Amino acid sequence: MKVLFIGDIVGQPGRQYVAEVLQELLPEHKPDLVVANGENATRGRGLSSHSAEELYDAGVEIVTMGNHTWDQRQIFDFIDDDERIVRPANYPAGTPGRGFTVCRVGRREVLIINVMGRTFLSTIDCPFAAVENILKEHPHIKHIIVDMHAEVTSEKLGMGWEFAGRVSAVLGTHTHVPTADARILPGGTAYISDVGMVGPRNGILGMKRESVIRRMRTQLPAKFEVADGPRQFCAVMMDFDDESGRATRIDPIYRYEPDA
């Protein structure tokens, strides 16, 4: 089974570039499943139903989230009904939406889990225990993808090593910068600390860099807006063994447009 996982998609430029790149990638690579992190898809913060539809139209089948899940208030209207959207599973019991979803890919079921780190991020429940519990509820599923949305590398690596050999992939998101450590951990778990971002390449995390830097230097409030200019696309393409679910390959895909 071939799975394409796309990193945090930022704003209209990110959604648009995903559509453009997938038009080339899908016919060429024919992935069996396309997952993308959509927590920044709408104006850099959250996910509107319109943005979700755009991602689905582009070929994305499952959308994972993160700390920006609730930034577009509209999401409360559709997150309970749309089984393609997965928000961090370690939010408290009773949180709208779902922390994992199961989708059918050919004859196989794939379990997609989203969890969020706690260090410097959110005061929520343990992401390790959350994954553990979800795995226990689905002992028969062999193809399992964990989107570990976290700030620090130690927590992401911890998740990767703790579930190495027990899930098909642990993929980091949130920092918007792709890491160069993609590998197969012992037992057949595809791992990368951060998949990276899809969006404006010359901003800071996809946002206009002037405001971000001004705020850092002056400590005054600043309005952050999605940047424009050339765009980048960050994803990983993985192969999972059809029978065992073990990952046999993880290849980063990093494309970008040249500067004008």
Residue 29 among the catalytic residues: no
Backbone angles phi, psi at 178, to 5 degrees: -70, 140
Minimum CB distance to its own copies, residue 151 (Å): 7
Q: For its own copies, which residue of 27, 139, 186, 258 counts as binding (CB under 8 A)?
A: 186
When asked if residue 258 is in the footprint of its own copies (CB under 8 A), the reply is no
Minimum CB distance to its own copies, residue 144 (Å): 19
Within 117-136, the residues that bind its own copies by CB under 8 A are 118-120, 122-126, 128-129
Q: Which two tokens stand for residue 88?
A: 């961090």
Q: For its own copies, which residue of 27, 180, 243, 258 counts as binding (CB under 8 A)?
A: 180
Looking at the DSSP bridge assignments, the partners of residue 255 are 233
Minimum CB distance to its own copies, residue 132 (Å): 9
When asked if residue 213 is in the footprint of its own copies (CB under 8 A), the reply is yes
Looking at the DSSP bridge assignments, the partners of residue 51 are none
Within 167-226, the residues that bind Fe ion by CB under 5 A are 174
**Residue 92: contacted member of Fe ion, its own copies, none (CB under 5 to 8 Å, by partner type):** its own copies
Q: Is 147:64 a contact under the CB 8 Å cutoff?
A: yes
Q: Which helix (H) or strand (E) holds 15?
A: helix 11-29
Looking at the DSSP bridge assignments, the partners of residue 130 are none
Q: Give the separation between CA 136 and CA 154, rounded to whole angstroms.
A: 25
Give every CB contact of residue 140 below 8 A, 6+ residues apart in sequence.
109
Q: For Fe ion, which residue of 7, 11, 44, 66 counts as binding (CB under 5 A)?
A: 66
When asked if residue 179 is in the footprint of its own copies (CB under 8 A), the reply is yes
Our CB check for its own copies shows the closer of 54 and 194 to be 194
Residue 253 identity: I
Q: Is 143:109 a contact under the CB 8 Å cutoff?
A: yes
Closest Cα to residue 62, out of 23, 9, 21, 124? 9
SS3 category, 250: strand
Contact mark string toward its own copies, 136..175, x via CB under 8 A: ---------------xxxxx-xx--xx------------x
Q: For its own copies, which residue of 3, 62, 167, 205 counts as binding (CB under 8 A)?
A: 205
Strand-pair category, 143-149 with 169-173: parallel
Question: Which positions are catalytic?
Answer: 68
Q: Please report, as ranges, the residues that interact with Fe ion according to CB under 5 A.
A: 8, 39-40, 66-67, 174
